[in-house]
Amino acid sequence: MPWFRKDRKPRRPSREKLEIPADAWEKCPECGHVDIRDKFEQALEVCPECGHHRRVAVQVYIDMLTDEGSFSELYNELQSSNPLGFEGYTDKLARALRKAGSHEAVITGSATLEGDELNLGVMDFAFMGGSMGSVVGEKIARLARRSVEERVPLVMVSRSGGARMQEGVLSLMQLAKTSVMISALKRERVPYISVLTDPTTGGVSASFAMQGDVNIAEPNAVIGFAGPRVIKQTIGQDLPKGFQTAEFLLEKGMVDMVVPRVQLRATISNLLKMMQGR
Amino acid sequence: MAFVLDFEKPLVELERQIGHLRRLTRERDLEVDSEIGPLEKKLDDLRREIYEELTPMQRVQVARHPRRPYILDYVAALFTDFIELKGDRLFRDDPAIVGGWARLEGRPVMVIGHQKGRDTKENLRRNFGMPHPEGYRKALRLMEMAARFNAPIITLIDTPGAYPGLGAEERGQAAAIARNLEVMAGLETPILAAVVGEGGSGGALALGLADRVIMLSNAVYSVISPEGCAAILWNDASQKERAAEALKLTAPDLLELGLVDEVIPEPPGGAHSDPERTIAALGEAVRRHVEELAKIGSKRLIKPRAKKYMEMGRFAER
């Protein structure tokens, strides 16, 4: 038997092939880093490699910014109707209710943080792009009014494309409505911290989200008045890299700081204590 | 050739005929009065007919009409001693917003508004009435000054919107509008806002948080332009009629929704057909509201102002 016809032994895997479910892995959309899903989850959806912050569910912020079991939801009886009879809006609402975990684009409630009382609102981008209509404005204004009446600090976590088109000028007036209550909060010297996450634009950035005593942005969040697409159309050229990011706003003086998600709780707790003389 | 809206073309044809007959009367000494009379009546009737049945998008066209009175036209006719103040003390003066001290029937007031240009050159300078953040910051500076000196604030609104450009974003367009809203909510002096042309979303509201909001009958106020709305919802800016209809952006719609306090009728052919009458009608309403508001103690304005806005919104309860 010639040497080149030597029988080959069948190859055998050195160890048993593991059955790995497809969703056990997660890939960072920014740097392409692939890691175990659990690792992303433990890091609050921040990439362990490059620090890119991904959008997370409302509940993640509620858990992050309140003491365990202390959050009690307020005003969840309010729901959007279709006040202008805007075509397609009723269906869109029904779909949003099914798809998003929340029953409106903002969840509001009272809680404690490191033992101190606070009122917390968290917007849900999954519910019609976090858009602000009558209900969102009403919930935030009521929460702010509660903060004034009880002298309890307010924290808002924003992410929204802006005012909800389908409620027309009713939506636009929610900018004014939330602003009159934030204005009262300032007059009564009750602390208000605004956390701007990805993305915060339009009517929300042009009202309560930019009115914090302290404005905190999350890393790499897109924050601005006009959306990047509209600006691109207006000026007819591409936007500079990093335009309208949290880091850009920090440099331009529009936010106080860019805080990684893992430090958000400690930063807010500490700020609120100092603003209340402790 | 004067600017003519498509739905006004039948009017222009009649006007041309009447003009022709008038010329004949003058030049050839012909007696054609008997023919002119009925034609003029027909013109009036047709104008009224057309204007009574304007679609929402047609109202948008009227609100954007280039011969519509602009803010400085109102200022010149309704106020005396106007002294324009400029600059935000931070960056530059924004000519898209004008403002200053003036007297309204002798009473010192602060008047502020968006200013569009009459021709291309002026429009470039005034950025078609679309302010940058420095414009809103100038307005805020003037409003705070007015409150310090107990002068009522009158804002006149006519803008396509806040400018969506690089510099505007860099200098904090959102923060500037947000700041105006927050401060206006707490100013201890009467604020009257009048929407006289285009009320373009946040860029309009940044001058519009007031004790009273009044509106000319063909002015529009909207959360987004009909073109923008159509582009987002149906990927087709040409569906603007459909969007204008759905957005409920006309003055009568907003009155019904409780978002404005009074609608001031324009002349039958729109504000551009008779600017003088339009300005006079607005002036009457402005004087009346300012007088009423001035009777309320300045410390007693803020709570009702907050209440007014707290009541805006429509929703259901589970």
Nearest CA in chain B to A242: B170
How high is the ipTM of this complex? 0.95
| Beta strand pairing call for B107-114 and B97-104 | antiparallel
Answer yes or no: is A3 within a domain: no
Mean pLDDT of chain B: 95
B189 within 8 A of B151, measured Cβ to Cβ: yes
Answer yes or no: is A17 within a domain: no
pLDDT of residue A1: 57
Question: Same domain, yes or no, for A41 and A59?
Answer: no
In 3D space, the residue among B311, B187, B228 whose CA is nearest the CA of residue A163 turns out to be B228
Mean pLDDT value across residues B224-241: 92
Confidence check: pLDDT of B174 > 50:
yes
Question: Same domain, yes or no, for A152 and A255?
Answer: yes
Question: Same domain, yes or no, for A37 and A74?
Answer: no
Answer yes or no: is A140 within a domain: yes
Q: Report CB contact under 8 Å: B312, A231.
A: no
Question: Same domain, yes or no, for A64 and A188?
Answer: yes
Question: Same domain, yes or no, for A127 and A33?
Answer: no
Cβ count near A96 (within 10 Å): 20
Question: Same domain, yes or no, for A156 and A225?
Answer: yes
Question: Same domain, yes or no, for A125 and A239?
Answer: yes
Separation in Å, CA of A216 to nearest CA in chain B: 13
DSSP state of A242: T
Confidence check: pLDDT of A112 > 60:
yes
Question: Same domain, yes or no, for A264 and A155?
Answer: yes
Which residues of chain B are within 8 Å of residue A187 when distances are taken between CB atoms? 186
Question: Same domain, yes or no, for A99 and A111?
Answer: yes
Separation in Å, CA of B133 to nearest CA in chain A: 11
DSSP state of B223: S
Cis amide linkage into residue A29, ω under 30° from 0 = no
Residue ranges of B 200-219 with Cβ closer than 8 A to chain A: 201-202, 205-206, 208-209
Type of residue numbered B296: I
Cα A170 to Cα A256: distance, rounded to the nearest angstrom: 31
Which of B130, B227, B315, B318 to mutate to probe the A interface, most A CBs <10 Å? B315
Type of residue numbered A238: D
The answer for residues whose C-beta is within 8 angstroms of residue B317's C-beta and 6 or more apart is A77, A78, A79
Q: Report CB contact under 8 Å: A175, B172.
A: no
Which residues of chain B are within 8 Å of residue A131 when distances are taken between CB atoms? none
Mean pLDDT of chain A: 93
CA-derived radius of gyration, chain B: 21
Nearest residue, CB atoms, A180 vs list B164, B171, B306:
B306
Q: Report CB contact under 8 Å: A225, B171.
A: no
Confidence check: pLDDT of A4 > 90:
no
Q: Report CB contact under 8 Å: A203, B317.
A: no
Nearest residue, CB atoms, A169 vs list B166, B232, B259:
B259
B315 close to A (CB below 8 A): yes
Nearest residue, CB atoms, B202 vs list A206, A240, A243:
A206
Answer yes or no: is A196 within a domain: yes
Enter the tokens of residue A266.
């400690």
Confidence check: pLDDT of B131 > 60:
yes
Q: Which residue has the higher pLDDT, B13 or B94?
A: B94
Cα A202 to Cα A225: distance, rounded to the nearest angstrom: 5
Cα A198 to Cα A215: distance, rounded to the nearest angstrom: 14
Confidence check: pLDDT of A17 > 70:
no
Answer yes or no: is A7 within a domain: no
Q: Report CB contact under 8 Å: B186, A183.
A: yes
pTM exceeds 0.90, yes or no: yes
Which residues of chain A are within 8 Å of residue B309 when distances are taken between CB atoms? 173, 176-177, 179-180
Query: Per-residue confidence at B29, pLDDT binned at 50, 70, 90?
Result: confident
Cα A9 to Cα B25: distance, rounded to the nearest angstrom: 116
In 3D space, the residue among A114, A207, A108 whose CA is nearest the CA of residue A154 turns out to be A108
Q: CATH code at A110?
A: 3.90.226.10
Question: Same domain, yes or no, for A216 and A239?
Answer: yes
The H-or-E segment that residue B263 falls in is strand B262-264
| B55-97 per-position pLDDT tens digit | 999 999 999 999 999 999 999 999 999 999 999 999 999 999 9
Question: Same domain, yes or no, for A124 and A155?
Answer: yes
Mean pLDDT value across residues B3-13: 90
Answer yes or no: is A13 within a domain: no
Confidence check: pLDDT of B1 > 50:
no
Question: Same domain, yes or no, for A59 and A49?
Answer: no
Confidence check: pLDDT of B111 > 70:
yes
Separation in Å, CA of B240 to nearest CA in chain A: 14
Q: Report CB contact under 8 Å: B181, A207.
A: yes
Residues of the domain holding A194:
55-275
Enter the tokens of residue A167.
């409620």
Looking only at Cα atoms, what is the longest distance across chain B? 78
Cα B259 to Cα B266: distance, rounded to the nearest angstrom: 19
Question: What is the count of structural domains for chain A?
Answer: 2
Confidence check: pLDDT of A13 > 80:
no
Nearest residue, CB atoms, B222 vs list A80, A168, A244:
A168
A115 within 8 A of A278, measured Cβ to Cβ: no
